[in-house]
Structure 1
């Protein structure tokens, strides 16, 4: 178990995905001051199930992702930060939110890739891009384009497909809990097929 700074959000960060943040709250500015001397500079991200990001008093999930700080822009009133999801964690115990949220966490075992899963990955890739294309044609504002390039590593690509698909945070939280790549891909496919029905497919 390790105690690390935490950044609860209203969204889910999956491994191998970028996390842009606009940091302006004094408690998170203090967090950045404390972690930036470390190499790598890391903090945990969990979903806020109830409540708000600003001001505390929220209810947070017990699983999250460690984010590694990549770049900083300090030229404006707020700090613009880009981090990257690197590994999953289980929150064993929340500590006092002073001066910022912290928790004792345990790293979760990374699910292993098997080449037998290649057809499942290919199907998930096809379906996710198809539903993104349908959403684009429907005039929806997309965070990720249908032709986005994924990681060459198949396990990383599986997480990225789950992240770019147009799911809500609770569905993405369910995917983050996946004990295996097979479950991650199968559940992604199920959710995408459900989403396709919204477009009459």
Structure 2
């Protein structure tokens, strides 16, 4: 596929996940405007080294695996500032990346096949039940729509979807989240999430 613009961040975007960004650097304002105008996506990749906001003499090292982001809402409250809301799409592997003169990264990427829909194994059902309880609790508190940390449909019977939502919610470091994103087997990803929940004392 053609080279895509990359947005290095100190976060990991998972498929179907939500991401809100405040854009003010010229390199990203131009990128976002092009994506909106042409209905295109950009790639979100975690930073292994470096800062989100470019500094003189700074150096950025990107993770090898990222997720495409689709812009679904945006507003420009003032010149030079945009607020965008994105949804994670397919994952990709970077085969090569180039830093352009104006500071934007472009990458040649190959798609990673989407997770196969797999039912929740009996041994991990408690993980899905806990997520369902959290969603109901938020709804009962009057939290709906874009205020929710995840968006409908709530696929609580799908191992990959449940695993990805927990990956976003859990307070684990960037390297751990990146490892979970890189795991191509959704059942194994769900098992790893269950282990993290247990380690944090969150399982009954």
Normalised TM-score (structure 1): 0.80
Distance 1:25 1:60 in 2: 18
Structure 1 position 163 matched with structure 2 position 168: yes
The equivalent residue for 2:5 is: 5
Aligned counterpart, 1:45: 44
Deviations 1:115-160 (A, max 9, x none): 3x343552223456899xxxxxxxxxxxx989x7763332433322
Indicate conservation of the 8 Å contact 1:127/1:192, yes or no.
Answer: no
Gaps of 5+ in 2: 135-146
| CA deviation profile, 1:81-111 (whole Å, cap 9, x unmatched) | 0011011010110023343111001110112
Match of 1:108 in 2: 112
Structure 2 CA distance, aligned partners of 1:150 and 1:121?
A: 21
RMSD (Å) for aligned C-alpha atoms: 2.8
Check whether the contact 2:67–2:88 (CA below 8 A) recurs between aligned residues: yes
- Show the counterpart of 1:139: none
Flag structure 1 segments of 5+ consecutive residues without an equivalent: 132-143
Aligned residue for 2:27, secondary structure, equals helix
Name the SS of the counterpart of 2:37 in structure 1: coil
For the residues of structure 1 that align with 2:123 and 2:13, how far apart are their CA atoms? 23
1:17·1:160 contact (CA, 8 Å) conserved in 2? yes
Compared CA separation, residues 76 and 169, structure 1 to 2 (3 A): same
Count of paired positions = 185
Deviations 1:16-59 (A, max 9, x none): 111100000011011122222222x2000000011111115111
Contact 1:2/1:106 (CA < 8 Å) preserved in 2? no
TM-score normalized by structure 2? 0.79
| Correspondence for 1:66 among 38, 43, 68 | 68
